[in-house]
A and B are shown apart, each in its own frame.
Chain A
């Protein structure tokens, strides 16, 4: 890792101003660093300037009726220990607990995870299934994008060069679940995962699959097969078949395509069972 120039703004204005003056191709944004520092150390990423979000007052967690707004620098561990998240967004809780270890989650942030947009992110599929939105702060103010629009590919997002992720908004509390498969149960990268949620407002399911490149994806057609709030076994099987046969699942060195497709049915069954109160 080369010598780095660390910038630590204390206010949102300072942060945006600092970002405008730094050369984008030589600047990395530090929001926890559990993924970024690793890439810098290994030389997969080069940067001369690090803009740290550590001092910004963005470590917030606000419930407003059914809506949850999470400040982008809130440590995942704080999110994990929030009693309301546990009961109102169980899928988000499972996604957070899938990230690294307790020690890492004290450092890692939701904004960092989204901003880095790893193909095997455990949080992106959950946010997709929850219809989450990303609030971006830039020189001309804020704009809001769905997570689906924000995450563009492996390590690629719609964040402009002088924008920062300010917050993530989840529109409503939902029955939800996140189920994953790995070689090692803890401290590992998921090579297949499914997130589901059921929206009480439009009474539809969302299904996202993840764990393979280039990025986690929403599967709206498959979700329609699940039907209403309590899908029966044949409905889940039809949805699983739809995903198994049509989803753009690919192989990489962590798992073969065949094995990943084989995992769809058990993972979807478990996710729906967990989301509908049947346990994992």
Chain B
């Protein structure tokens, strides 16, 4: 069993997070919130704040002067000029010698906003499915539409048509550590140390928002106390840098826990209409319509809607289909990624719906799904060839286990099955600089460990597997954006998949060079010997020290620069009527089994036990892989059962804290069995597939299926809280 190299430091409390950083002369930052969710900005009077000792205050009018007259992205200025679009949107920022003074100064800023009507949710915009001219509606940020075959004819002639409407809730990432950074500006050098899943992404965002060139900006990642997608893009950094520039001193800016909820960019609510036409036990056609709340996401920059549609069709053969989705702008913060963005919600909808379809046509749901499941060598409904896919194998194993559990389940218990699929985002590229010396392997790259182990354990495991050298001789180091090679970020389940391939690429180069110098027969590996690390080939050994040039020895070893920029597949673009749809890089997925006990009188659910069958390609590090699956499942239980951000008609978040935003606790975590389905290689090194996101995807679907099996409640809304289950039970009373 491998011990995580960061564990001892973290347990001892020696790890310094961004909120622990303190430098001499540092000021504390605070944000000034908009008082209404939508309105015309009349006044931002910084005077009363500036009248306080040591306070620096900035708003939209100072922006140009602070960046030397440059112009950033007009669509997303650091502070709004004319209009506020969500409650608590920062309209100004202040810095002061202490946190208390900063907060008091923020309160002192006088903000006047002339309120405008608030668009609170998608129902307020489109109470019914929108008509054909809706793509031009001012609240529509994006419209996607695709179809294949004669959909109307298929629905007209089908034996059975099932129509349902589903609703899903807004969920937060809730990382333990808030967004925080420390900014320092000297001359034309803008430097920020920040808790981020993507230092290079932050650099790009800051450059775009402030209009300053990327080469003037240095971003250094700090330890990250949880990201879950919430730290994938810039957030507090532009404000902190502007404050540091204005003050001429370093500024630390951190969100409060309440602000994490109020300002967080995350999954927002959705309404999905599902229609399926079946004849002779086979799916003839499907129609999927999605209204996705994207908050104040920028028009034309919505990614979620087109990407989600594929997950709403599910991993099922569908000869004829029509899919249409609207990204609907509302007065909420912008939509942002939350571990497998919107995919658990999509899986819940499609899995629950097809279970309903199967029941209506009298076929056992798992058999109905198995009969339609994608398999390697087939094509997706969008015409993309399906490469090695282990979901059918995972599903077969899950069905067998579910049958065992069902036979043993007492009354009031139910066993459910849910599936989900995903793709490793290796299209986002990465690079690493790897050095081999007599001491071992040193990997220099740009990411900080975010807690999953994908950087410190995952990359080392790749190097171990490629070279055979044991883990204690392998060091993973990080650098800031000025010293480390480029990498897209720790998101999209891509760290081992893409950055790991870059590490592997560098090692293959190095092993090749060393083998050539030694005249060693390939394949070669590395091993520990009397003179440090040695090259080994067919039982022969050459000390690395003897294979290096003087220059390499002086530079600490033989270095190679590895790269990986993956390519996705292609979809049949002739099916697209409007908008952008996306292809997958590889195909990964999971089938999950849940056993629940449901209290039929109150609607309360207890998850009794849980099992996951994960298509993972190749397991690179078993303990870390298992931990990712367990963590994903527990997080998914929140989405399934308890988590729901509630917004009022005025655009106010009513449960901005952990009292009424209910995360699952360890008390509700069930025993979890994890089985890895290997042998269906993906886009990562040695055929590994991403594992950060996939484990959360099937959870709400599996739980909903189990609840239905237990008490017959067909719940079409997330989360499945006790009241919704009780209501569904009442509806189904004879």
Contact = CB atoms under 8 A, between A and B. Distances in A.
A266 interface: yes
Nearest to B662: A184
B667 A259 contact: no
A42 interface: yes
A82 interface: no
Given A181-B602, A185-B604, A188-B662, A255 B642 contact: no
Contacts of B655: 253
Interface in A169-217: 181-189
A186 B667 contact: yes
Nearest to B654: A253
Contacts of A42: 258, 657
B578 interface: no
Given A3-B100, A259-B727, A181 B722 contact: yes
A109 B641 CA distance: 31
Contacts of B727: 259
A263 interface: yes
B604 to A, nearest CB: 7
A253 B726 contact: no
Nearest to A254: B660
A253 B604 contact: no
A87 interface: no
B730 A262 contact: yes
Nearest to A1: B100
B646 A183 contact: no
Interface string A249-280: 00001111001001101110000000000000
A183 B667 contact: no
Nearest to A184: B662
Contact of A183 (B258, B606, B721, B730): B721
Nearest to B104: A2
B665 interface: yes
Contacts of B100: 2-3
Nearest to B664: A184
Interface in B597-628: 599, 601-602, 604, 606
Interface in A127-185: 181-185
Interface in B627-652: 641-642, 646
Contacts of B659: 38, 189
A109 B662 CA distance: 24
Q: Considering residues A3, A183, A187, A259, which has the most beta carbons from chain B within 10 angstroms of its beta carbon?
A: A183
B722 A186 contact: no
Given A42-B657, A184-B642, A263 B606 contact: no
Contacts of A181: 602, 604, 722
A185 B722 CA distance: 11
Contacts of B660: 189, 253-254
B665 A184 contact: yes
A183 B665 contact: no
B660 to A, nearest CB: 7
B668 interface: yes
B723 interface: yes
Contacts of B726: 259, 262
Interface residues on A, range: 20 to 34
A263 B602 contact: yes
Q: Would you call the interface of chain A mostly helix, strand, loop, or mixed?
A: loop
Contacts of A2: 100
Interface in B184-215: none
Contacts of A254: 660
A14 B654 CA distance: 41
A187 B665 contact: yes
Contacts of B646: 253
Contact of A185 (B667, B721, B730): B667
Given A42-B258, A189-B660, A253-B646, A183 B722 contact: yes
Nearest to B602: A181
Nearest to A262: B726
Contacts of A3: 100
A262 B667 CA distance: 26
Contacts of A187: 665, 667
Interface in B436-485: none
A183 B662 contact: yes
Nearest to A263: B602
Contacts of B602: 181, 263, 266-267
A259 B601 CA distance: 11
Interface in B243-302: 258
Interface in A219-271: 253-256, 259, 262-263, 265-267
A267 B100 CA distance: 47
A36 to B, nearest CB: 14
Nearest to B658: A187
Nearest to B730: A262
Nearest to A255: B723
Contacts of B604: 181, 185
B657 to A, nearest CB: 7
Contacts of A189: 659-660
B468 to A, nearest CB: 47
Nearest to B646: A253
A173 B83 CA distance: 63
Nearest to A258: B727
A42 B599 CA distance: 36
Contacts of A188: 662
Contacts of B654: 253
A266 B600 CA distance: 10
Contacts of B641: 183
A171 B723 CA distance: 37
A2 B258 CA distance: 17
Interface in A22-65: 38, 42
Contacts of A185: 604, 606, 667-668
Contacts of A182: 722
Interface of B: 100, 258, 599, 601-602, 604, 606, 641-642, 646, 654-655, 657, 659-660, 662, 664-665, 667-668, 721-723, 726-727, 730
Interface of A: 2-3, 38, 42, 181-189, 253-256, 259, 262-263, 265-267
6 contacts: A42-B258, A184-B662, A187-B665, A189-B659, A259-B726, A267-B602
Given A3-B100, A253-B660, 9 more contacts: A184-B664, A184-B665, A185-B667, A188-B662, A189-B659, A189-B660, A259-B723, A263-B601, A267-B602
- A-B complex: 7 closest residue pairs judged by Cβ atoms: A266-B601, A186-B667, A259-B723, A184-B662, A183-B721, A181-B602, A184-B642
